Amino acid sequence: MSDQTLKTTVLHEAHVAAGARMTPFGGYDMPVQYPMGILKEHLWAREHAGLFDVSHMGPAFLDITAPGGDGEERHRAVAALIEPLVCGDIAGLKPGQVRYTLLLNEEGGILDDLMIGRPYDPEFQGRLYIVVNAGGKEADFELIAQAAGRKARLTRADDGGLIALQGPEAVDVLRRVLPGVETMGFMSYRRRPFERVSVRVARSGYTGEDGFEILVPERGATSLWNKLLADRRVQPIGLGARDSLRLEAGLPLYGHDLDPTVSPIEANLAFAVSKKRLKAGAIRGAERIARELADGPTRIRVGLKVLEGAPAREGAPILGARGKQVGVVTSGGFAPGLGAPIAMGFVPPDQSKPGKKLSVEVRGRKQAAHVTALPFVPHRYHRNPER
């Protein structure tokens, strides 16, 4: 593994100074764990506030080039450029709202999962805030820029910091550094001043906990990271615990649970499909998606609780009642919050009811498992309406 080909985030020095164990991920040298260790980091984020460097991801802005129009018109114009690529209702975003959506290919297969936000401030209407995954960001940005043509300009923002603060104490920590964030509701999106820069805050995350994801320009990134870390309720959390947290929260990981052959319905992400746009046939792969919604898909993503033995990891066969393979695990591991192994995988719909007894095969051994409703650990998002 040659270091010169690995990129680093603006927080790299802070991780090394904190004694992090670094590992290549998505083309970046990233902290997999800090001295505290994955298990304790995981539990810390569930009980207090965990700080994550996710600057390897792909934040960007898409700005409409034509001047004029009121805020609503400008928003609809920029939404119309990206909607052909995704399955969500982007035109329907309210000012200051962010939404989870999926980038699809012509067959309705998932190319990536992403967040799209609409700015709150009137002067920024006609802009979308987009965050895609690290692994596919070059291809995603090219696709979006092509779809926009000359009508909009895509500006990458992955030269700065993207910081997540997650956990029940996140809001009280963050309000001391970015006053006002406590009034934000789940999936809302605001601009806030920090020192001499402007940061973008979304009340969202990838742990199932209440929390925030903050885009900060390079010159403010280290200062924001250190200010948050100075709070005794905050510990840095590596990619190891990020993965176990999202697994417990039942959230899919692109490249593992999602890939270009998987449709939103198969992925159990029907909530991300705009029913209005589907009805109009305005979504890529609309025919397949509509058919799967009506008749059921051939496979569907489920949660599995492994009742004995070793964790069943990606690739482990899922066996039906008679021992025949019915599916495959797409991510799995040990759930620190449950003290037991859990997994996600794909099975036919007739095997997908919660409580359904199946087994998983690990190193040639059959281990009892049953289908569990997702999430494994209840989400604790801050759904209160905004004041």
Partner 1 sequence: MRFSKDHEWVNLDGDTATIGITAYAADQLGDVVFVDLPTAGKSVKAGEGLAVVESVKAASDVYSPVAGEVTEVNAALSDEPQTVNDAPEAGGWFVKLKVADPKALDALMDRPAYEAYLKTL
Interface contacts to partner 1, rule CB under 8 A: 32-33, 37-40, 42, 240-241, 243-244, 309-311, 313, 333-334, 336, 341, 363
DSSP 265: T
Task: Name the residue nearer to partner 1 (CB basis): 133 or 244.
Answer: 244
**CB 313, min distance to partner 1, A:** 7
Position 330: which residue type?
T
**CB 20, min distance to partner 1, A:** 13
DSSP 233: T
Task: Tell me if 319 sits within 8 A of 351, measured CB to CB.
Answer: no
Residue corresponding to tokens 């601009």: 191
Task: Name the residue nearer to partner 1 (CB basis): 38 or 45.
Answer: 38
Task: Name the residue nearer to partner 1 (CB basis): 235 or 274.
Answer: 235
Task: Tell me if 342 sits within 8 A of 321, measured CB to CB.
Answer: no
| End-to-end CA gap in the chain | 51
Furthest-apart CA atoms within the chain: distance in Å: 65
**CB 333, min distance to partner 1, A:** 6
**CB 235, min distance to partner 1, A:** 15
Which of 97, 96, 93, 59 is closest to 76 using CA atoms? 93
Please report, for the chain, how many H helices and E strands are present, in that order: 9, 19
Look up residue 242 and give its two tokens.
């990020």
Task: Name the residue nearer to partner 1 (CB basis): 39 or 197.
Answer: 39
What is the Rg, in whole angstroms, of the alpha carbon atoms belonging to the chain?
Answer: 21
Beta bridge partner(s), residue 58: 132
Sheet of 49-53, strands arranged across: 189-194, 197-202, 211-216, 161-166, 49-53, 234-236
Could you give the residue ranges of the DSSP H alpha helices within 249-365?
275-279, 286-295
Task: Name the residue nearer to partner 1 (CB basis): 136 or 238.
Answer: 238
Task: Name the residue nearer to partner 1 (CB basis): 240 or 297.
Answer: 240
**CB 19, min distance to partner 1, A:** 12
Task: Tell me if 130 sits within 8 A of 201, measured CB to CB.
Answer: no
Distance CA 360, CA 316 (A): 7
Which of 326, 333, 352, 345 is closest to 258 using CA atoms? 345
**CB 240, min distance to partner 1, A:** 5
Task: Name the residue nearer to partner 1 (CB basis): 244 or 351.
Answer: 244
Task: Name the residue nearer to partner 1 (CB basis): 41 or 113.
Answer: 41
Which of 57, 59, 61, 60 is closest to 7 using CA atoms? 57
Distance CA 190, CA 201 (A): 5
Task: Name the residue nearer to partner 1 (CB basis): 205 or 336.
Answer: 336
Q: What are phi and psi of 152, to 5 degrees?
A: -150, 155
**CB 18, min distance to partner 1, A:** 16
**CB 302, min distance to partner 1, A:** 22
